[in-house]
Structure 1
């Protein structure tokens, strides 16, 4: 039978494909990652571990059991035989990371935090294209932060804190558009902070504290940034604070800059961070007066301004306004007070089996106000026996309030009568909040009404 031209072409194509299969097919198939590849990669890690005090890996990671049943290993539901999670945190392990880990091509979660791994991060980890969570915090890794971390296209959480990383923060880290949390704290990082580090569109929290970073704080912020917390404390940063911080950070809740060398005046524009809850500017070189506009931050519940060069003349008036601001303008303000239900802040009825109520929370508010203006805690050593913060404050009213007022709030000159009257009024309200019997205690609505009235009077002076 004669073959047609079309049949001849089909036969030649089949022969060609058969030849390709014979010569390169098996090799190509062998290079395809599989569950056996994952197993080999993890066994290589096991060989690089020099100390396994609980024998967790030596007795569990064996070739006779499925890798998906190994301790610290999770396999995916779609690709049931492929490793998607490696979690060896808090296992007391020591050793190094082998390059074979780059073959875990389905890995999305990598956590070896709080062990004693050392050395460097192998560049082969850049092949983990599905990686979303990467934590090596609390180890002893050294060297520079590898720039290849920026090539991980799905990375959302990066924790390199509490290691020995040194050098500069790589500029490439700013290109990780998927990153939500970045923690590089407690290392030996130096030089300036990359200028675009706050411009990552998904970044919600960044912690660069306890390093040796210097220079100015970056002033470039992504428009409508989702940033909730910036922690730069305990570095060598200097210069003025950017005036435009709050303009592009409407959601900022925490700004921690303690222990640097920032100077200049505290910008009044910080009052535009309407969601700010924690502002820490202590131990710097700030000068000038505290902006009264900060009193408008009704969500602020922690403020640290000590150890600066601030002018003290208006501190009493400011702190009076701030104390009121803390208690006004927040519908769920009670939930914040419940965190104070500890010794000294707790209403007496809690210790006698009484029910938790808003009357008890009013008591805690009163103690909190006393602490703000006196600088004393109810647990301070000076309060023993029958003497208490509440009794001490009450005995000073109304004419000796200057004797209990925190000295750090005073200027070199004696406070004016108006300022002392302000403090006296607030502390008198605080004592009414702390009446022993709950039924005789002021209600929260009455407290808020009184505070609003005091604030109105302050604004007229």
Structure 2
């Protein structure tokens, strides 16, 4: 069928499929036929595998009058942004993020007076940010993150009163932030992190009173934090970490009554932590590590939930023993010797500067690792506020009838919020210290990641006595139920799609954001299925956050026997290669329906060895027999099955350096799935 014959077509969505372009064509050929649809308003083609450039005709012909929305993120689109995009006079949304675009941003995009959203993030675009974008009076969202943009932050970005979200993070911008930048009183999200911005933060920052998220970490800002920051009373997330800010924390922080997340770590801050911060009742995350702070750590209020990690690298701090700092001298008015304090402060400052330098080097080297990611927003999200009363009411006081899961660290309930939204409520066991530690780890991981194949956090609720995570509800339960319950069955297509989903999530965790996340406990019970059978990875309770400098760590926390890589069990070594090993075991289990902890496997006789003994001639002995009960045309060929098992074996090599990466796993699995579906269609 020729799509161009659909003369009345107004909306087309082909998002998140396995569509490819004609390999003989350098441009997206099917868009050419769509140009005949003179009433077409919306084109959504994101999440495919086109790997071609955009046709030059896009800004001409019928579309120059009709097209209002063009969404083409995560397609492997190459080449430049066509300059004649500026002819699409009615264009409102333009989304080309997570592609392979090069070149510069055409200044003529500033002529698109109806443009409301411009997303060009996660490409290879360079050059400066055109000031013509400031002419867009209806602009609501601008996202240019993770490119190679250089030069200055345009001061005129303070002009468009309609602008609500601006993300320029992870570029090579080198300038100060001009005072006029803060002229917009209605902007709610500003992310300028991971650049080379310098100078001081202007007092005019206090003008942007609608700000909810302000992310300026990983730059070279110096001087004091402006006292006017206290005027930002809607601020929920504030990150100023990894800069060179000095002097005391302003007392005006006590006015940030909505604040939930505050990161001031790795600066040169001095003086005391204001006691009034304990009155910030919504504060859930607080980090002032690696500064030159001194004096008593506040106790009470939200500080009862913070751990030693929030204060490390400040030797002159004192307070409760759980913070791993010296005890305060309450009974004696005698002050510490000045010389000792100065030594402590200088040591902390030197440490902070060194870590900042290391971060900048790492940023330049590793920022561009992951390109083909699903349609995600990797910036920290603002969660809805839910009280313990809401949770108790939503679960009918934690009635056992609503209990849907039970683990070593706590219970999971199905709940209904006041707005009717059904959620999963994970209640951590208050009697187990490592359960509360697991809650802290899970919060730390989940606050910094977001992906369509990761279970979404809706909110959290915590005090000294309880810790609760509110998660999206997954009506189709876990992969474990589908593999090992006699009344459930997944056909081969479903199993392969689940594995592709999991591989996509793991690829993202290993390289899709500033930190490398090692899951450490990948197994079927931690893979949940939503209403559309889309798989999502869950349970980050023993995960590890690694930086580019520490891609291997050690732990005493064990994962699940049967899924652990050899180096994890014997030496406690943690790296992404351990997750790759777990995925290989998971792949074997999914296709054989045999658990690695089955009674069959004793001593050195493992699931992997059992499969090795049976392949290639006795495939029927290891493949789930239910798959063979289907018609031949619905069961993949012997060659395809062999390629899946070869992939699983490459994941489970005994030596970590011989295992492939999750990025390669994801590519291979998608090819296997595509080939299988083509075989089914052909037969």
Q: TM-score, normalised by structure 2?
A: 0.41
**8 A contact 2:165–2:187 mirrored in 1:** yes
Maintained 8 Å contact 1:54/1:91 = no
Q: 2:64 touches 2:88 (CA, 8 Å); kept in 1? A: no
Match of 1:259 in 2: 242
1:237/1:223 CA distance change after superposition, 3 Å: closer
Give 2:225's aligned residue. 241
Deviation per CA, 1:91-123: give whole Å up to 9, x if none.
101011232111100100011111111111222
1:185–1:211 Cα contact (<8 Å) kept: yes
Q: Residue 132 in 1 paired to residue 145 in 2?
A: no
Aligned pair partner of 2:303 in 317, 323, 327 = 323
Distance verdict in 2 for CA 1:80–1:194, change over 3 Å: closer
Q: Distance in 1 between matches of 2:175 and 2:28?
A: 40
- Gaps in structure 1 of 5+ consecutive residues: 1-35, 37-49, 338-346, 386-461
Deviation at 1:61, TM superposition (A): 2.6
Q: Quote the residue 2:32 is aligned against.
A: 61
Go from structure 1 to structure 2 and tell me whether the alpha carbon gap of 1:261 and 1:73 turns closer, same or farther (over 3 Å shift): same
Name the SS of the counterpart of 2:187 in structure 1. Answer: coil
Structure 2: unaligned runs, 5 residues or longer: 1-6, 8-20, 47-62, 307-384, 393-402, 416-424, 445-540, 543-553, 560-683
C-alpha distance in structure 2 between counterparts of 1:284 and 1:219, whole Å: 19
Partner secondary structure for residue 255 of structure 1: strand
Q: Deviations over 1:398-424 (max 9, x none)?
A: xxxxxxxxxxxxxxxxxxxxxxxxxxx
Q: How far 1:170 sits from its partner (Å)?
A: 1.4
1:280 is aligned to 263
CA–CA distance in structure 2, aligned partners of residues 217 and 280 of structure 1: 16
Please state if 1:229 is matched with 2:232. Answer: no
- Alpha-carbon distance in structure 2 between the residues aligned to 1:295 and 1:243: 18
Match of 1:363 among 413, 420, 429: 429
Q: Secondary structure in 2 aligned to 1:57?
A: coil
**Distance 1:56-1:363 versus aligned 2 partners, 3 A rule:** farther
Could you report, residue by residue, the CA deviation over 1:180-211 in whole angstroms, capped at 9, with x for unpaired residues? 00001011101211112222122000000000
- The answer (yes or no) to whether the contact 1:178–1:201 under 8 Å persists in 2 is no
1:64 to 1:384, Cα distance in 2 relative to 1, 3 A: closer
Change (3 A) 1:294 1:52: farther
Structure 1 CA distance for aligned equivalents of residues 174 and 200 of structure 2 = 13
Structure 1 CA distance for aligned equivalents of residues 22 and 149 of structure 2? 22
Say if 1:206 and 1:64 are closer, same or farther in 2 by CA, change over 3 A.
closer
Given candidates 387, 390, 393, the residue that maps to 1:332 is 387
The change in CA–CA distance for 1:152 and 1:349 in structure 2 (over 3 A counts) is: closer
Pairwise mapping of residues 33-432 of structure 1 onto structure 2 (< 5 A)?
A: 57-62=28-33, 65-66=36-37, 68=40, 72=44, 82-221=66-205, 223=207, 225-246=209-230, 248-311=231-294, 313-315=295-297, 318-319=298-299, 322-324=302-304, 332-333=387-388, 350-351=406-407, 356=413, 361=427, 363=429, 367=433, 371=437, 379=542, 381-383=555-557
In 2: Cα distance, 1:185 partner to 1:51 partner: 35
Compute the TM-score of the two structures, normalised by the length of structure 1: 0.60
Q: Aligned partners of 1:94, 1:51: CA distance in 2, in Å?
A: 14
- Residues in 2 aligned to 1:171 and 1:383: alpha-carbon distance in whole angstroms: 49
Per-residue CA deviation, residues 260-303 of structure 1 (Å, 9 max, x unaligned), is: 00001112221110100000000000112211111111100011
- How far residue 360 of structure 1 moved from its aligned partner, in angstroms, is 6.9
| Relative contact order, higher structure (CA 8 A, sep 6+) | 1
Of the structure 1 ranges 91-100 and 294-303, higher mean CA displacement relative to structure 2 is found in 91-100
1:276 partner SS: coil
Structure 2 SS opposite 1:66: coil
Distance change (3 Å), C-alpha of 1:364 and 1:172: farther
Tell me, yes or no, if the aligned pair for 1:182 and 1:206 is still in contact at 8 Å.
Answer: yes
* Cα 1:154–1:81 shift into 2, 3 Å: closer
In the alignment, is the contact (CA less than 8 A) between 1:297 and 1:325 conserved in 2? Answer: no
The offset of 1:130, in angstroms, is 0.5
**Cα pair distance change 1:181/1:224, threshold 3 Å:** closer
Closer, same or farther: CA 191–350 of 1 in aligned 2, 3 Å:
same
Whole-Å Cα distance in 2 between the matches of residues 375 and 61 of structure 1?
Answer: 49
Deviations 1:44-65 (A, max 9, x none): xxxxxx9989988213432674
Task: Give distance in 2, aligned partners of 1:355 and 1:280.
Answer: 30
Secondary structure at 2:427 match in 1: helix
**Greater C-alpha radius of gyration:** 1
CA 1:300–1:151 in 2, change beyond 3 Å: closer, same or farther? Answer: same
Judged with a 3 Å threshold, the aligned counterparts in structure 2 of structure 1 residues 70 and 370 are, in CA distance, closer, same or farther, namely closer
Q: CA deviation at 1:222?
A: 5.5
RMSD, aligned CA: 4.1
